[in-house]
Amino acid sequence: MHKMVETTDNLLSMGVDAFIHPDYRQLVKGERKEQVKLWESGEKAKVKIDNDYFRQHYAHILESDAILIINEIKNDIENYIGGNVLIEMGQAYVNNKKIFLLNNIPDNLSYSDEIRALQPICLNGDLSKIISKPPNSETPQKSLKTPDRF
């Protein structure tokens, strides 16, 4: 989550209208301790339901031009993309939003082919590729949402 906040701040400093759910900034600051306690005790679904994260993230995707996936190492899997993020990628795709991956597509997931089929743009860690003119476009990226990932 720290990387999501850091990346959002970097994009904002580059002039990109980047958005991250306010809860994530609060969590990084050590706030929302009850939510953290529930999450760490295995009550992840309850946290997602109580905060209506699926609907909130979907609304933010609709308001954005694109989404950026912060896919790093998780569970010993390089460039990990989990279930929540795969859902958000699908939501972005069917709504004709660009999908950026901070790193490459993970090769060792049972759904790697589905990720490839969503045609994400891999940044290979280079955020400046977001503000350069996308292929077949006259204007650079302007509005970006960083999806949910605990």
pLDDT digits (tens, 9 = 90+) for 28-48: 898 988 888 988 898 989 989
Global pTM reads: 0.85
Report the C-alpha gap between 94 and 147 in whole angstroms: 16
Mean pLDDT of the chain: 88
- What pLDDT score was predicted for residue 67? 96
Extents of the domains making up the chain: 2-145
C-beta neighbour count of 48 within 10 angstroms: 17
- Cα atoms found within 13 Å of the Cα of residue 116, Cβ hemisphere only: 8
Mean pLDDT computed over 38-62: 91
pLDDT band at 148 (very low <50, low <70, confident <90, very high): very low
